[in-house]
Structure 1
């Protein structure tokens, strides 16, 4: 693994910690400094575990990276002692990441949208992004993503949503879904249920079922797995995300979508990404919503992840989208309609762009493309929409072209309209 160099100043600085505990002593842990130790061997793992001020958590990535992540609470002196060991690769804050959403955009021109008055409840809406990436062309050719398993590392999925329940892995089977942060509120069917809309919206873009109502996703017969690492407000711990990535890899799932991120480098997430990639998982991540050059966030900026920027309905780069040389491909991210907990809504963000690509990956894998070939296939078939390479990467995702179907259709479906 190619680890970045970490200065003592970066590694040893303190950060605020959130309300998510490691199983015991959550209140006490909130008042401590929470860090992730990258242990190179068993001795370092034991040392890091033994000096944590609360019960530690271990994430074993040694099969592919040689590292075990030890998550615990450490004083400054303890961190300094651990970092001085040759068998410790890094000691880094357990940062809180967040969804990469943007503020809601202004209502688009009437020509670009379908009003709720015109939209009948029984009609299925073709969101503009699904049409623009030519997923509808793939559907017409019989390509649905069937047999591919997609892990949604996010805020959970609403199991009973009519657009999603047919494609959601059986909730009664232990291990099909998992929560690191449990759903809170009155409408939580499962610990991994969505209590904030975000995960359900992402899942809908990946794999909402094709039918007579609701919306349709890029891969409408892929199987969805909820990996809930974020609470309803969107806070997500680095250690939980790393654990979820490893879990998906160990389950043998095919694709993982991460519509979350942060500005700080994280060797723990890079290591988890390497573990998953070498296990055969394709990782797709939102580039971020910093809205300026050279601002792609983490984990998207790492080579182990396919980094996705966001486009508008007229093929521009969304004003909020992070850009930079790490961007691999672009996808629709502004005014995207999809499922939410209580129905449907339009949201903005590279969070909305990333699942278009995750669905495209599912389509490629279902068609027999190997995980090692997927990135090149996506990039080679992407449509040049006239933006700078740092903004669009290889271009706009084109699912039909990636599958060798005619991709001359540049339509935008039902615009930014959403089901009534």
Structure 2
């Protein structure tokens, strides 16, 4: 590993404009190579702003680096011990949305999974949920009691304020706590820690997600809600998901909205996650939802009313919305039975789901039912 060549290359990388570049994730087969590269990177006297263009991913001992479109292959500079992959763009999972008036009472999805029946037993108290998304509306009256500080990965000096709406919607379904004047979520006494990895368009890179997972592991989240996905596999993302799983963090991921029968998006496709499909009010699989053997469980995801920006409410559809119902349910379970591993929780969910209407393979797939879930946890 040529120290001078790498320093020159890193300096040119930090000087690049974001336009006309793509990102690459560089991992190392040997920890000694990673340590050497880390030392070289740490030596740079570049300003903090430019250092942030080269992203350090300590959870997987890697870096994300911008590369000019016409630039020759830089792998020879790094030596044979380096593995390079595309830092792929990734998007939040939701379909159409429309403004909605607040619905009196408990949202239909929260009712359908039978959350209210167990609130006398568990409300998710003290369970920490990292929501890697677009941020959250901290001023929303239904969320004020339900939020931790979280982190803004796009601008570390500011709070993770939502400039899209998707993250606020997810947070409301999981943990809104304003039943008298607003809405109530599945686990109203759990705490959401918003991890802003997505911009106002609902777009991010895999490296943003890895940094989000790293933050969640370091800050001891019990659950990570991942209402997003991509079509291509990423070894770096799998590595990060694996490390979180081995640390005991439950990762719940949306399957995607392509209506596919034999495929789901990543990271939901990884076996270390709980992959979620969407159902409608008739307890049938929603038309847009991916489905099939890669789905672990289904939950309400069609025309879901939840919190929105500036204290408002919106109706959204998508496997994103289904995922937030499952994250809330797992919070209820963990508050009731602390210490369950990710594998045990997935097993309990799969043992306790309700058969779906109209599903041919009804024994292999089903919808979330929280009363049955808590009963299964006792067996």
Q: Report the TM-score when normalising by structure 1.
A: 0.76
Q: CA deviation at 1:30?
A: 3.2
Q: What does the per-residue CA deviation read over 1:98-117, in whole Å, with 9 as the maximum and x for residues that have no partner?
A: 11111349x9xxxxxxx95x
Classify the secondary structure of the residue corresponding to 1:403. helix
Q: What does the per-residue CA deviation read over 1:295-328, in whole Å, with 9 as the maximum and x for residues that have no partner?
A: 3001111011110011111111111112232111
Distance 1:393 1:72 in 2: 43
Where does residue 10 of structure 2 map in the other structure?
Answer: none
Where does residue 293 of structure 2 map in the other structure?
Answer: 325
Distance 1:97 1:29 in 2: 17
Change (3 A) 1:79 1:199: same
Q: 1:99 aligns with which of 92, 97, 119?
A: 92
Distance 1:125 1:392 in 2: 33
Change (3 A) 1:27 1:378: same
Q: 1:290 aligns with which of 252, 258, 267?
A: 258
Where does residue 228 of structure 1 map in the other structure?
Answer: 196
Change (3 A) 1:389 1:243: farther
Where does residue 8 of structure 2 map in the other structure?
Answer: none
Say whether 1:133 aligns with 2:113: yes
Where does residue 214 of structure 1 map in the other structure?
Answer: 182
Q: Note if contact 1:296-1:323 (Cα within 8 Å) is conserved in structure 2.
A: yes
Higher mean displacement: 124-133 or 282-291:
124-133
Where does residue 211 of structure 2 map in the other structure?
Answer: 243
Q: Note if contact 2:97-2:314 (Cα within 8 Å) is conserved in structure 1.
A: no
Distance 1:391 1:349 in 2: 22
Say whether 1:305 aligns with 2:285: no
Unaligned segments of structure 1, at least 5 residues: 1-23, 62-66, 108-114, 170-175, 184-188, 406-420
Where does residue 341 of structure 2 map in the other structure?
Answer: 371
Where does residue 316 of structure 2 map in the other structure?
Answer: 347
Change (3 A) 1:78 1:211: same
Pairwise CA RMSD of aligned residues?
A: 2.8
Tell me how many residue pairs correspond in the alignment. 349
Where does residue 203 of structure 1 map in the other structure?
Answer: 171
Where does residue 8 of structure 1 map in the other structure?
Answer: none
Q: What does the per-residue CA deviation read over 1:328-355, in whole Å, with 9 as the maximum and x for residues that have no partner?
A: 1001111000001121110011111101
Where does residue 411 of structure 1 map in the other structure?
Answer: none
Change (3 A) 1:387 1:59: farther
Unaligned segments of structure 2, at least 5 residues: 1-12, 45-49
